[in-house]
Amino acid sequence: MCIAGRSIISVTIKDIAKLANVSHTTVSRCLNDSPLISDKTKNRVLKIAKELNYEVNSSARSLSTKKTGIIGVIYQQELEDFGSSAYINELFLELRHNLETLQLDTILLEAINPDTFMSNTIRLIRQHKVDGFLLIHGQISPNDITYINEYDIPAVQVHFKPDYLDLNTMDYYITDNIRGGYIAAKHLIERGCRKIIALECSPNIGKEFEDRTTGFKNAAKEGRLAEEDCMVFKMKCKYLSAYHFVHEHIELIRTCDGIFAQADILASACITALKEHGLRVPGDIKIVGYDDSFYSTLVPPFITTIHQPREEITVKACNRILDLIKTDGEEIKSLEQEQIEPYLIIRETT
Amino acid sequence: MCIAGRSIISVTIKDIAKLANVSHTTVSRCLNDSPLISDKTKNRVLKIAKELNYEVNSSARSLSTKKTGIIGVIYQQELEDFGSSAYINELFLELRHNLETLQLDTILLEAINPDTFMSNTIRLIRQHKVDGFLLIHGQISPNDITYINEYDIPAVQVHFKPDYLDLNTMDYYITDNIRGGYIAAKHLIERGCRKIIALECSPNIGKEFEDRTTGFKNAAKEGRLAEEDCMVFKMKCKYLSAYHFVHEHIELIRTCDGIFAQADILASACITALKEHGLRVPGDIKIVGYDDSFYSTLVPPFITTIHQPREEITVKACNRILDLIKTDGEEIKSLEQEQIEPYLIIRETT
DNA sequence: GTGAAAGCGCTAACAG
DNA sequence: CTGTTAGCGCTTTCAC
């Protein structure tokens, strides 16, 4: 099937114009649903467009509108380890999905090109390759942020909020980690725990884990646990770290009745290791995880955990970026900085 | 920092041309390292370009070259479950990384738009939004394949090879699953196993798992195992499936000395469940997994497994797609269809 | 309501 | 070796 000798793969508005006996300008207006055009011609043109299976040439449109319909999603290289970043990956897929719903395509990249060490963020902006950014990155470079702010590039920070920056100028949707830690500890205490260990992930990304510990301590104080009965241990967010921790501190752990693991993967490791020492969960010791990632329902007993409100975060972030792109700095946009509350999901480990 | 009153963010070749006292054509040639230009002007122009921090406007370039520098990577929606698709995700990140090394950006999408149920593949082609595709998808629609073939869109199938299609027209890099199954079983037999259970993942994507079973049986026959001593059980590729399987068939399993789990996650589940029944791995029963995903080194004992040659596959696929894009159907391209051999990694479960 | 014409930033054919 | 010119496909004034 060919139009004027050229394969159907590249139908242009001129082709449609010819068949509809109008100018290509009119076709363009029809396709963009301009109010200038009469319904009659609009319908006729759209029908032909459909018949020809027309799709806009996005380069051409971009060149003239300066919009690409593409969002750059920046992720953190170090999180490539899918084991310890299950939640981030779930987050990413949700973002991509939501963007698609909003008719936006997604370019995924690391902040830094691993070969040239140049900023991908800045490159994409200068190349006009994306309309904006979603940043799932706890340690984005200050340069990038400055650049984004200076040129007023639409961008929203998702999940992470780098604490080394003054982010007064950038939108973000993050979770309330203090609250999450608080809920977790409070739940343990309500279940009767009086001596609790918190497993804090380290290194800290932003203050994510530190905050969870803060919340944990707040609840402990509120529940009148003695200082020495709420201990905090830092470790890498890896299965083996928690696994070895349990083996190395088993005597201490035997004297405890609760563990707050700041990631489900750590909770899962604890359960396995405890089992090897003959300790029962939740009989001998109760455990609360964090994230509500797939780890929490991988092996029985399923893990009581803090649900990260990914649905809300991703939907809001995607809608927001779309807004920013559309208004494009016309109106002075107010800042959207929201901290969304996580909540407890009770399963079998408490 | 502004050039002619416009912010540095949009430096064009005309800006450079003015400063260098040449035509914009010359600038374009310099930037593209044309042999037509004298070294002297080339150096001068490039220096200025660098000073101005010039980056090409990719829409403009695309419009005129019909190349976008973007590859569409199509993944399978059902694989969103990161638990049971650890390997695919590792594969994807490697692909993205390699593409970036080749100066290609990556748009990630599902084959079908989940809202409109239209083909994303075809949309992107018609919109001229990508130069080609990498397909990590076992069940890509015949329509998409037909379209890709008909219009000669660069595309290479990675890891999967849909068996319902005549793929004589498309490049692919896949792994030899029959070989993988064979190696796994042979290793068990060499370690002294005489009664082995194979856990086959189902549903089958392509013939991936079926092939592994075929290889398994070949090795069993070669090792003179009795028919009834090499059993095959099908199950979902989920942790819990294998976990429950062990509990439900523990009496049978006690009579066995080897398990070939067709995914590391299944192997991991088996180990946990066996431990709960007091069976030791590898003492009482030996286990070989598949994929060499992060699951295989998550919990001790680390899993002996079949390494999927992801490095080779991804590098070859990315280089190939770049080739296809460059030559752009000029030369009649020969078909690249390679089946790459997986290999055994011995760890602690055998 | 519709069309003619200009322009987005780049590449490429053609001329010199 | 370099410049002039046209054109990629679309949107957007401006005129009618």
Identify which of A126, A240, A269 has the shortest CB distance to residue B9: A126
Examine the pLDDT at A11 and tell me if it is beyond 80.
Answer: yes
R_g over Cα of chain B: 26
pLDDT of residue A2: 35
A298 to chain B, minimum CA–CA distance in Å? 6
Query: What is the per-residue pLDDT across A138-193, written as a single tens digit (0 to 9) for each?
Result: 888 989 998 898 888 999 999 988 777 666 678 999 999 999 999 999 999 999 99
The alpha helices in chain A, defined as continuous H runs, are 13-20, 24-31, 39-51, 58-65, 86-101, 120-126, 142-150, 177-190, 208-222, 239-248, 250-254, 264-276, 310-327
pLDDT of residue A4: 33
pLDDT-derived band at A250, boundaries 50, 70, 90: very high
Question: Residues B109, A100: contact at Cβ < 8 Å?
Answer: yes
Q: Which nucleotides of C are covered by protein (CB under 7 A)?
A: 1-5, 7-13
Give the domains, in start order, of chain A with CATH numbers: 13-56 (1.10.260.40), 67-175+311-340 (3.40.50.2300), 177-307 (3.40.50.2300)
Question: Residues B95, A166: contact at Cβ < 8 Å?
Answer: no
Question: Do strands A155-159 and A132-136 pair parallel, antiparallel, or not at all (unpaired)?
Answer: parallel
pLDDT of residue B4: 34
pLDDT-derived band at A7, boundaries 50, 70, 90: very low
Tokens representing residue B249 in the block: 């068939």
CA angle A88, A94, A98 (to 5 degrees): 145
The CA dihedral of B154, B160, B164, B165, to the nearest 10 degrees, is 20
Nucleotide nearest to B29 (CA to C1'): C11
Query: What is the per-residue pLDDT across A258-276, written as a single tens digit (0 to 9) for each?
Result: 999 999 999 999 999 999 8
Identify which of A108, A123, A151 has the shortest CB distance to residue B106: A108
pLDDT-derived band at A6, boundaries 50, 70, 90: very low
**A239·B298 Cβ contact <8 A:** yes
Which of the residues A85, A89, A128 would you substitute to probe the B interface, choosing the one with the greatest number of B C-beta atoms within 10 Å? A128
Nearest to B276 by CA among B236, B317, B246, B311: B246
**A126·B7 Cβ contact <8 A:** no
Examine the pLDDT at A130 and tell me if it is beyond 50.
Answer: yes
Main-chain phi, psi angles of A110, to 5 degrees: -80, 160
- The H or E element containing residue B197 is strand B196-201
R_g over Cα of chain A: 26
The letter for the amino acid at A293 is S
Q: Would you say the C-beta of B37 is within 7 Å of strand D?
A: yes
pLDDT by residue for chain B (350 residues), tens only, comes to 333 333 456 899 999 998 999 989 999 999 998 888 888 888 999 999 998 989 999 999 999 999 999 999 999 876 545 444 677 888 888 999 999 999 999 999 999 998 899 999 999 999 999 999 999 988 889 899 988 988 889 999 999 887 776 666 789 999 999 999 999 999 999 999 999 999 999 887 778 899 999 999 999 999 999 989 999 999 998 899 999 999 999 999 999 999 999 999 999 999 999 998 999 999 999 999 999 988 899 888 999 999 999 999 999 999 999 999 987 655 556 888 999 999 999 999 99
A215 to chain B, minimum CA–CA distance in Å? 29
Tokens representing residue A279 in the block: 């300790």
A109: which strand partners? A74
Task: Write down the residue that tokens 């090795």 correspond to.
Answer: B219
Average pLDDT over all residues of chain A: 89
Nearest to B288 by CA among B213, B350, B217: B350
Determine the average pLDDT of the residues in A242-257: 96
| More reliable by pLDDT, A34 or A169 | A34
Examine the pLDDT at A84 and tell me if it is beyond 60.
Answer: no
Q: Residue B308 gets which letter from DSSP?
A: P
Distances (CA, A) of A239 to A290, A292, A318, B299: 14, 16, 32, 7
